[in-house]
Structure 1
Amino acid sequence: MLKKLIAIVTTSFMLVAMPSLAVENNEEKIKASLAKLGLQVESVAPSKMENLYEAFTNQGMFYTSADGKFLIQGKVYEISADGISSLTEESLAKVRIDGMEKFEGSMIVFPAKNEKYQMTVFTDLTCGYCRKLHNQMGSYNDLGITVRYLAFPRGGIQSQSYTDIRSVWCSDDQQTAMTNAKGGAQVAQKVCALPVAEQYDFGRKIGVSGTPAIMLDDGMMLPGYKTPEQMQQIFQSYSVKKAG
């Protein structure tokens, strides 16, 4: 009887351990395969779709076969009785939340006095709609919306737009520097240790391709400019969904 019990326990342990080992082996294969393309894999996880893996890299999200021999770039959707949902956005939302926590201490923040909501915005100094959004900062704040900025110089980290936005982040008075720069004033050049380049890289990884790009606390990303009133409506609809 004891031998049978030991055999059952041993078999059960092997059944639990084998999938875990398989995932680890597949992860190594995927990392090695994608490295040949110059992609640095930061994490690998099985997708909800059978035999498909999510690979989060320094160039964003990709999908691969278990052996890493097939690569897909794009979005994966799940069709259910409730409708259609993006599995890609669900996975990226988790990464975005982690990133917002990581960079929380290095954002430039324009707080609302009576804060009800907050939005995190990837911004550039020369983008027309970024300037429009910033010019309405008082209206966002009056509606209880705190605006938190992350840097996304559209020209990349070798551009003048990066040098200028880094200087804003390195200013003693970041808020005034941001307002002046978006008003067209020349930016006094400064260098510091704040993770401006890292913010830009984070944006590229999570699907930011233009500015402004707005992230909500749940990791959902809204591309493009939204008026203060539109953002208030979005937040209010979220509150209704949560209450329901």
Structure 2
Amino acid sequence: MKFSRTLSLCLALAVAPLVHAESSGQTEQLKQKLTSALGVEVQSLTAAPIPGLLQVLTSHGVLYVSEDGSKLFHGNIYDLNNGMANLTEAAMAGPRLQMLKPFEDKMLVYKAKDQKHVVTVFTDVTCGYCRKLHSQMQQYNDLGITIRYLAYPRQGVPSAVADEMEAVWCSKDPKKAMDEAKAGKNITVAKCDADIAGQYQLGEKMGITGTPSMILEDGSMVPGYLPPQQLLQSLSAH
């Protein structure tokens, strides 16, 4: 059962309430309760921007739970007094940057000669907008934007697309193989330690559900395709 469907079934957690969850023992009980009910890994439990709620950073994004552990909320919290800032998205920014670090040696990097910005893109070789983005790589680079690819095969792992992406990453010339794959050409099967499954699971932990998805320098996420000039504007705004 998909995570979103599981959440719908678990909006009221069916065990006794936990009072004063800030104590270490009760916090651990609440973590275990969430893990058992939702099947997610709870990474941290802190005060939420709204009094009476706790913010839960999980392996599938941010959730909110009442302090007594009886009610669960899944959605975004916005700050009306600060230009509708998405506080839920902001809570994920720092953790995303930390999660990316172990995968830096797995990335396919298209470096700008005069680098001003670095954007990490979760991509799929069969995705139409991923192909459009790739066809404009030189334009991104000319604007000083370095693009770093990580694999997110939308069919999951294992799948035919995951195998194709592994062949790209493991090719003798991965960038050439990526050009060919995104042009719809067949790629010679190749195996290596590219860890396509790990890259895919990383995307899931960051809350990615489609491609392309961009992680900006501050850790914020842009779901979907942005043309080169528009991406530059977004980077400047952040």
Alpha carbons 2:151, 2:196 under 8 Å: kept: yes
2-structure distance, mates of 1:188, 1:114: 33
State the partner residue of 1:65.
Answer: 66
State the partner residue of 2:162.
Answer: 162
State the partner residue of 2:47.
Answer: 46
The letter for the 1-side match of 2:72 is L
1:197 aligns with 2:194: no
1:195-234 Cα offsets, whole Å, 9 max, x none, are 3222211212222111111111001111211111212222
- Please state how far the C-alpha of 1:63 moved relative to its aligned partner: 1.4
Using structure 1 for the length normalisation, give the TM-score.
0.82
User: 1:183-194 counterparts in 2 under 5 A?
Assistant: 183-194=183-194
- Please state how far the C-alpha of 1:23 moved relative to its aligned partner: 4.3
Alpha carbons 1:61, 1:205 under 8 Å: kept: no
The letter for the 1-side match of 2:64 is Y
- Please state how far the C-alpha of 1:157 moved relative to its aligned partner: 1.0
State the partner residue of 1:33.
Answer: 33
Alpha carbons 1:111, 1:146 under 8 Å: kept: yes
State the partner residue of 1:206.
Answer: 206
Alpha carbons 2:122, 2:214 under 8 Å: kept: yes
2-structure distance, mates of 1:104, 1:169: 13
1:174-193 Cα offsets, whole Å, 9 max, x none, are 11111111111112222322
State the partner residue of 2:90.
Answer: 90
2-structure distance, mates of 1:51, 1:170: 50
User: Identical aligned pairs, as a percentage?
Assistant: 41
Alpha carbons 1:42, 1:55 under 8 Å: kept: yes
The letter for the 2-side match of 1:41 is V
2-structure distance, mates of 1:235, 1:39: 32
- Identify unmatched segments of 5+ residues in structure 2: 1-19
Q: 1:221 to 1:167 in 2, by over 3 A?
A: same
The letter for the 1-side match of 2:85 is S
Q: Secondary structure at the match of 1:22?
A: coil
- Please state how far the C-alpha of 1:123 moved relative to its aligned partner: 0.4
1:68-127 Cα offsets, whole Å, 9 max, x none, are 3322211122332x3332221111111111122232221110111111212111100000
State the partner residue of 2:7.
Answer: none
Using structure 2 for the length normalisation, give the TM-score.
0.84
Q: 1:48 to 1:172 in 2, by over 3 A?
A: same
How many correspondences in the alignment?
A: 218
Root-mean-square deviation (Å): 2.0
- Please state how far the C-alpha of 1:51 moved relative to its aligned partner: 2.7
Alpha carbons 1:108, 1:149 under 8 Å: kept: yes
State the partner residue of 2:76.
Answer: 75
- Please state how far the C-alpha of 1:49 moved relative to its aligned partner: 1.9
- Please state how far the C-alpha of 1:143 moved relative to its aligned partner: 1.6
Alpha carbons 2:55, 2:62 under 8 Å: kept: yes
- Identify unmatched segments of 5+ residues in structure 1: 1-19, 239-244
Q: 1:50 to 1:23 in 2, by over 3 A?
A: farther
Q: 1:207 to 1:228 in 2, by over 3 A?
A: same
The letter for the 2-side match of 1:195 is D
2-structure distance, mates of 1:25, 1:86: 31
